[in-house]
Structure 1
Amino acid sequence: AGALALEVAAGRRVVLLCEGDVSLFASASYVLLALLEHHPDCPLRLIPGITAASAAAAAGAWPLALQRQTLRVLPTPDDPAELEALLEEAMACPEGQRPVLALLKLGARWRWVRPLLERLGLLEDALFARHVGWPDQLVAPAAAVPPEREGSSAYFSLLLIRCGWPQVLPDTSPRLG
């Protein structure tokens, strides 16, 4: 932040590029906070990007959320029991209103997340994505991606989990009475 502020003070135009969106779990957010705290007069302009979850859904032709579904975006829990509780809570929602979960920072957790999804019957409705937007991008149905040995999954990987499907074409006739 200090180096960027010095460049701006010297009259140079400065750009800090960020993978994904600058405001969602982005490392650039820490630089932004430091600039705001230590260099409040430094002019800033944030240009929103495409979130990794949105980019993965688009690359996989996978509707991210439909109708009244909620979308929960969170880092993948480190603890299997915590993720299992989260998934069970999502599955307990009324049919048609179950959320879509976007689990970011999946990485090496995939080796235990995949069997958990399979056991809970959620693997078939999940999308795995790694290095979205990079030349080695992988976007595939989660069931097609084998569990990998610890440490071999990329930090830049995520999982989209559809916990249920809403009625896609609801009754649109006028309600009487």
Structure 2
Amino acid sequence: MKMCFSLALMFLASSAGASEPVSSCDVGAKRGKRVEVVRDSEIGDTHIYYVRQEGEVKALFGNPDDSRGSDVHIACAGQKRHALIVSGMFTSNFLQGFVLTQNPATGKIERLDFAEKNRPARLYIGARQTLIVVPTNGYGETNKKYIMYRHVAGSTTDLEPVGIDKLPPVGRFEVIQLEQSMVSK
């Protein structure tokens, strides 16, 4: 009995500490909220990825099976307001990812999901909205040059992705070139 209890404690201790830190980002403005990406359960070139925030750990895409990925790229980007960007090959036949930003009015972390054949090229961070622009390279459901995903701060749903031929104007956005920022993890 004592042996079984010791083995159970060893198993619990090893599984609780098995998450490998991958990246972290202070999402938001000067005093952003710390968000970390961790992974575990390596099989071949895949891992299960999680987001750790305020003491809570959640699978990237709702459950561990959908959060098993490879070729995962992560960036903490932005000068005035930091955003965490994650993209990789998860359960579908195309790249899936998301951007985490902080709503400046409420301080809450908000998420913009995307899924395309290519990685995002540009991130636009504004006070009230976040845009992700993905080049289509002639593939996909549109003949436009780019697909733009948009999240308005405080909204509970994202707007439908839109095909565009010209990049959005800079205006009051901070524009980040993601090709240089995204690092394979």
Query: TM-score, normalised to structure 2's length?
Result: 0.27
Normalized per residue, the structure richer in helix is 1
Query: TM-score, normalised to structure 1's length?
Result: 0.27
Greater length-normalized contact order (CA 8 Å, ≥ 6 residues apart): 1
